[in-house]
């Protein structure tokens, strides 16, 4: 491609070919442009209709009250005022922050820890990596059902095994003070393998020489981790912090719908579940959109903070 | 290069004496045994819930809550019940049609866009690319409400089209394919242009055949994601005939909440295609997860 553009810039020789050479690149550029737009058209139309417009709509809808279907009434900032005075929303927001502050570090540490454990070669390591990642390919609905079964009160597998060693377990999903923690443990269980793989790829990109030098210097495992692995892994860490926050904040809704339905006593009603509930259980599309737009704002603020702290994920000091 | 400076400032290391080498080898052997044990235990604990679903779905109603690892009296009757009491085969068929259609169309559309963004020169290319890329931040649950209203307005609720079309468009595949196409050398295309090939022909005859392996990886990811999708079908369909398998097992569980042998059999049937795909395409999945994470 570069070659063709290069000839276009070159002065046209004044031979009989001159005219053709001068015109050709122009028509070619036009044809290329037209082809490009045609190639892009289906995606641009689709992304506009099903991603961009919904995105804009969610902002616009936040200022409307939507009753049933088609009846849109402009209500100004009423939805936002309602939000500030809605104890259920405020508690779901607090819960989501707890959820974030536990799960983002939890996924980071478990993913990195597993990656460090399975990075070297030892018997069956490939099989173990597969086993650790496997829960990730199963749907959240099936995951929710498996755990509902395992954690059944009194007669479930976990209750029976704990009962054998003399522990009477709480009602993991039925007791409001345990349900959110249970959901968090399940989330770590099925997502840690994914973060492990990404960390593993980051670890494998670190040149071996660095470790050889560290070992010649007599650095112990902790010093090696501090001075070699950690700094060189920073781009991966940045990526994981960013994507896990988005995943934790907006994902997992399927599991909540199947596993707890936001309960008991709203103890697992996270913001994303509240949005879903307001829209599709109570038909409050406008209010739901207002809440969703607050979520997007929080995510944007967090991404901006991460980018600012890390200079766009480049960690320029490393250069 | 830090390595160079490090090597330059340090004197060459003396080769370790033979006893020390043996010590190192013994220590590394011990380390491997420890790793094997620790990782082995974590892996078994991790995979256990999946295994437990598997083994429990072959147990009868009176055994399903027991802690027997292997069923005393293994039975296939649970599966029989699942397929006869609800139209489970229909659910699977729906899921298959939706997942396969989305996968094929998405690969086709995404690769077209990726080809244009990677190989063609036109005004606004970078802007379009950034615009497409930025939609990656918008995850489905956040726009679920307005998407529902858009699809409702288009009259696509309760139809295959309503399940399929919105699922096709995502920046993820475009982005990954673009990165791949950027690495293709230009010579082939230049030769084709000299031969008078149009861009469509280049895409068909050069780009598509070269994409085979990345298509396979993406196809696995797309298929799994759509097979496992629950939220969009939940809000976009109410028609029984359009029910996909994830909805099917969720409502099956609602009706049979105490009959765990049936519920687990249904869950296993829904999970088996994903586990098979995973088993066969494990390396590709791992590779595409890694590249999607880092590039």
* Residue B165 pLDDT: 96
Nearest to B271 among A61, A142, A157 (CB): A142
pLDDT tens by residue, A81-105: 999 999 999 999 999 999 999 999 9
Query: Running DSSP on this structure, what letter comes out for residue A48?
Result: I
Enter the tokens of residue A107: 């996924």
Q: Cα A299 from chain centroid? A: 10
Within 8 A of A158 by CB-CB distance, chain B residues are none
3-state secondary structure of A152: coil
Within 8 A of A189 by CB-CB distance, chain B residues are 46, 49
pLDDT of residue A238 exceeding 80: yes
pLDDT band at A319 (very low <50, low <70, confident <90, very high): very low
Enter the tokens of residue B190: 């230049």
* Residue A311 pLDDT: 66
Nearest to A137 among B43, B152, B224 (CB): B224
The residues pairing with A72 across neighbouring beta strands, listed in sequence order, are: A66
Nearest to B145 among A32, A253, A292 (CB): A292
Yes or no, beta carbons of B65 and A210 under 8 Å apart: no
Yes or no, beta carbons of A141 and B49 under 8 Å apart: no
CA distance to A224, A259, B201, per residue, from A168 (Å): 44, 22, 69
pLDDT of residue A17 exceeding 80: no
Is residue A166 within 8 A of residue B258, CB to CB? The reply is no
Residues 257-276, chain B: which have Cβ within 8 Å of A? 260, 263-264, 267, 270-271, 274-275
pLDDT of residue A2 exceeding 80: no
The span from the CA of A274 to the CA of A116, in Å, is 37
What proportion of chain A, given as a percentage, has pLDDT over 90? Answer: 38
Enter the tokens of residue B292: 């999607």
* Residue B18 pLDDT: 62
pLDDT tens by residue, A129-164: 989 999 999 999 999 999 999 998 888 899 899 988
* Residue A15 pLDDT: 41
Tell me the domain boundaries of chain A. Answer: 2-61, 82-318
* Residue B293 pLDDT: 54
The span from the CA of A276 to the CA of A282, in Å, is 9
CA distance A212 to chain B (A): 10
pLDDT of residue A272 exceeding 80: yes
Is B191 an 8 Å CB contact of chain A? no
Average pLDDT taken over every residue of chain A: 84
The residues pairing with A67 across neighbouring beta strands, listed in sequence order, are: A71
Enter the tokens of residue B140: 């489905």
CA distance to A65, A69, A81, per residue, from B148 (Å): 16, 11, 25
pLDDT of residue A75 exceeding 70: yes
User: Mean pLDDT across the stretch A66-79?
Assistant: 80
Task: Using alpha carbons, select from A270, A269, A294 the residue that is nearest to residue A62.
Answer: A294
Nearest to B289 among A156, A198, A209 (CB): A198
Task: Using alpha carbons, select from B117, B234, B23 the residue that is nearest to residue A141.
Answer: B234
CA distance to A255, B149, B202, per residue, from A67 (Å): 28, 12, 51
The span from the CA of A35 to the CA of B122, in Å, is 9
pLDDT tens by residue, A187-227: 999 999 999 998 998 898 888 888 888 888 888 889 999 88
Is residue A180 within 8 A of residue A264, CB to CB? The reply is no
Residues 1-40, chain B: which have Cβ within 8 Å of A? 2-3, 6-7, 10, 13, 32, 35-36, 38-40
* Residue A21 pLDDT: 46
User: Mean pLDDT across the stretch A5-27?
Assistant: 47
pTM for this one? Answer: 0.84
State the DSSP string of A49-86: IIIIHHHHHHHHHTTEEEETTTEEEE-TTHHHHHHHT-
Q: Which of B49, B68, B207 to mutate to test the interface with A (most CBs of A within 10 A)?
A: B49
The span from the CA of B61 to the CA of B72, in Å, is 12
* Residue B161 pLDDT: 95
Is B128 an 8 Å CB contact of chain A? yes
* Residue A23 pLDDT: 52
Where chain B has pLDDT below 50, the residues are 1-12, 294-295
Is residue A11 within 8 A of residue B100, CB to CB? The reply is no
Nearest to A51 among B135, B189, B224 (CB): B135
Within 8 A of B47 by CB-CB distance, chain A residues are 131-132, 134-135
The three state secondary structure string of chain B is: CHHHHHHHHCCCCCCCCHHHHHHHHHHHHHHHHHHHHHHHHHHHHHHHHHHHHHHHCCCCCCCCCCCCCCCCCCCCHHHHHHHHHCCHHHHHHHHHHHHHHHHHHHHHHHHHHHHHHHHCCCCCHHHHHHHHHHHHHCCHHHHHHHHHHHHHHCCCCCCHHHHHHHHHCCHHHHHHHHHHHHCCCCHHHHHHHHCCCCHHHHHHHHHHHHCHHHHHHHHHHHHHHHHCCCHHHHHHCCCHHHCCHHHHHHHHHHHCCCCHHHHHHHHHHHHHHHHHHHHHHHHHHHHHHHHHHHC
Domains of chain B: 16-77 (no CATH), 87-294 (1.10.3720.10)
Query: Running DSSP on this structure, what letter comes out for residue A261?
Result: T
Nearby residues of A254 by Cβ (< 8 Å), 6 or more positions away:
A139, A140, A141, A144, B230, B231, B246
Angle in degrees, 0-180, between the axes of helices A234-250 and A285-310, rounded to the nearest 10: 170
The span from the CA of B234 to the CA of A58, in Å, is 20
* Residue B295 pLDDT: 40
User: Mean pLDDT across the stretch A168-195?
Assistant: 92
The span from the CA of B115 to the CA of B110, in Å, is 8
Residue B196 gets the label, from left (phi > 0), alpha (psi -120 to 50) or beta, of left
Assign domain A82-318 one CATH number from 1.10.357.140, 3.90.850.10, 3.30.2090.10, 1.10.3720.10: 1.10.3720.10
Output the CA torsion sign for A136, A137, A143, A146. negative
- Phi (first) and psi of residue A66, to 5 degrees: -110, 115
* Residue B8 pLDDT: 38
Is B199 an 8 Å CB contact of chain A? yes
């Amino acid at each position: 491609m570069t070659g063709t553009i290069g000839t276009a810039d070159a002065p046209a020789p004044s031979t009989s070919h001159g005219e053709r050479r001068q015109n050709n690149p122009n028509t070619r550029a036009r044809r290329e442009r037209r082809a490009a737009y045609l190639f892009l058209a289906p995606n641009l139309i689709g992304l506009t209709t099903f991603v961009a417009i919904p995105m804009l709509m969610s902002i616009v809808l936040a200022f409307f009250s939507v009753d049933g279907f088609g009846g849109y009434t402009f209500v100004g900032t009423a939805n936002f005022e309602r939000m500030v005075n809605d104890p259920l929303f405020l508690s779901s927001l607090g819960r989501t922050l707890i959820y974030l502050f536990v799960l983002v570090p939890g996924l980071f540490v478990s993913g990195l820890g597993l990656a460090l454990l399975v990075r070297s070669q030892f018997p069956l390591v490939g099989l173990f990596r597969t086993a650790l990642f496997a829960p990730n390919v199963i749907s959240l609905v099936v995951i929710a059902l498996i755990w509902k079964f395992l954690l059944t009160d009194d007669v479930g597998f976990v209750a029976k095994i704990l009962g054998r060693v003399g522990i009477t377990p709480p009602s993991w999903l039925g007791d409001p003070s345990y349900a959110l923690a249970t959901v968090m443990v399940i989330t770590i269980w099925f997502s840690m393998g994914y973060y492990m793989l990404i960390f593993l790829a980051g670890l494998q990109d670190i040149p071996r020489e660095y470790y050889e030098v560290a070992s010649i210097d007599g650095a112990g495992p902790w010093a090696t981790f501090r001075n070699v692995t950690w700094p060189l892994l920073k781009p991966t860490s940045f990526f994981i912090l960013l994507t896990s926050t988005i995943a934790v904040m907006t994902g997992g809704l399927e599991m909540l719908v199947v596993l707890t339905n936001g309960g008991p006593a709203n103890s697992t009603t996270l913001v994303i579940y509240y949005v879903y509930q307001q829209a599709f259980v109570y038909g409050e599309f406008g209010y739901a959109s207002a809440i969703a737009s607050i979520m997007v704002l929080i995510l944007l603020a967090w991404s901006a903070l991460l980018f600012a702290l890390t200079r766009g994920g480049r960690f320029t000091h490393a250069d | 290069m830090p390595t160079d400076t490090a090597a330059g400032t340090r004197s060459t290391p003396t080769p370790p004496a033979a006893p020390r080498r043996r010590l190192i080898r013994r220590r590394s052997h011990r380390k491997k045994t420890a790793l094997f044990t620790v990782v082995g235990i974590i892996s078994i604990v991790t995979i256990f819930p999946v295994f437990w679903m598997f083994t429990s779905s072959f147990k009868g109603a009176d055994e399903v809550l027991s802690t027997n690892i292997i069923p005393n009296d293994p039975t296939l009757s649970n599966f029989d019940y699942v397929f006869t009491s609800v139209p489970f085969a229909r659910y699977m068929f729906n899921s298959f049609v939706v997942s396969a259609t989305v996968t094929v169309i998405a690969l086709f559309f995404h690769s077209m866009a990726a080809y244009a963004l990677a190989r063609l020169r036109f005004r606004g290319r970078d802007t379009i690319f950034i615009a497409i890329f930025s939609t990656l931040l918008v995850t489905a649950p956040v726009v679920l409400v307005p998407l529902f209203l858009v699809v409702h307005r288009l009259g696509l609720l309760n139809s295959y089209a309503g399940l399929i079309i919105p699922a096709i468009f995502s920046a993820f595949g475009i982005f990954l394919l673009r990165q791949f196409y950027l690495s293709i050398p230009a010579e082939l295309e230049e030769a084709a242009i000299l031969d008078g090939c149009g861009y469509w022909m280049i895409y068909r005859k050069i780009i598509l055949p070269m994409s085979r392996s990345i298509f396979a990886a993406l196809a696995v990811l797309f298929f799994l994601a759509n097979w496992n999708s629950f939220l969009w079908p939940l809000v976009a369909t109410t028609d029984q005939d359009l029910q996909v398998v994830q909805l099917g097992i969720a409502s099956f569980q609602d009706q049979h909440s105490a009959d765990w042998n049936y519920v687990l059999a249904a869950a296993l049937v829904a999970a088996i295609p994903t586990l098979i795909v995973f088993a066969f395409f494990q390396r590709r999945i791992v590779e595409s997860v890694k590249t999607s994470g880092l590039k």
